[in-house]
């Protein structure tokens, strides 16, 4: 069993990222796609919002029960705190993802499959940034240990 908290957090983050990425690509490539790629750029951004919600929910569950083993506080309180962090994350992710996507789209213009590649790289960069910030948010705010 993995005993290091940071390693457990990294593993849970990788799982959450994987779920986020798979859903993002599914939405972009299958749901919001036609033969010429995604129809509207805003659908790509909407896809990121949907995938973030699901990925963050998976991460919260893993972090609560495994990473931080924080089951003494009522889950409702933790969920409220997590929603606050999640709203902050949505704001941060929207800005970072849009920035990364737009810059990479300019750099990769004309490449075959540019939208999927751009979405993947942008998602990775956004998630990596958030993963570092969220460790501290989760450890010291959401799943803070109470000592008697």
Q: Is the overall model pTM greater than 0.75, yes or no? A: no
Longest dimension (CA), the chain: 61
Distances (CA, A) of 95 to 64, 90, 106: 27, 9, 17
What was the pLDDT predicted at 11? 94
What was the pLDDT predicted at 111? 59
What are the pLDDT digits (tens) for 21-51? 999 989 888 887 766 655 676 777 788 889 9
Alpha-carbon distance of 113 to 86, in angstroms, equals 30
**DSSP alpha helix (H) spans, the chain:** 5-26, 41-62, 75-107, 114-137
What was the pLDDT predicted at 147? 60
Average pLDDT, the chain: 84
What are the pLDDT digits (tens) for 96-129? 988 988 888 888 775 554 577 788 888 889 988 8
Nearest to 132 by CA among 99, 96, 101, 80: 96
Q: Count Cβ neighbours within 10 Å for each residue of 18-54 and write b for 16 or more, e otherwise.
A: ebbbebbbebbbeebbeeeebeeeeebeebbeebbee
What are the pLDDT digits (tens) for 66-94? 999 888 888 899 989 988 988 888 788 88
């Amino acid at each position: 069993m993995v005993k290091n908290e940071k390693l457990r957090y990294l593993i849970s983050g990788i799982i959450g990222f994987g779920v986020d990425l798979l859903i993002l690509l599914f939405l972009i490539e299958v749901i919001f796609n036609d033969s010429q790629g995604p129809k509207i750029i805003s659908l790509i951004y909407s896809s990121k919002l949907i995938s973030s919600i699901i990925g963050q929910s998976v991460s919260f569950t893993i972090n609560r029960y495994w990473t931080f083993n924080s089951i003494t506080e009522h889950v409702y309180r933790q969920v409220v705190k997590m929603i606050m962090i999640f709203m902050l994350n949505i704001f941060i992710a929207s800005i970072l993802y849009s920035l990364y996507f737009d810059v990479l789209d300019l750099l990769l213009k004309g490449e075959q499959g540019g939208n999927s590649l751009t979405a993947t790289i942008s998602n990775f960069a956004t998630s990596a940034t958030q993963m570092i910030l969220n460790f501290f948010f989760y450890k010291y705010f959401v799943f803070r240990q109470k000592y008697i």
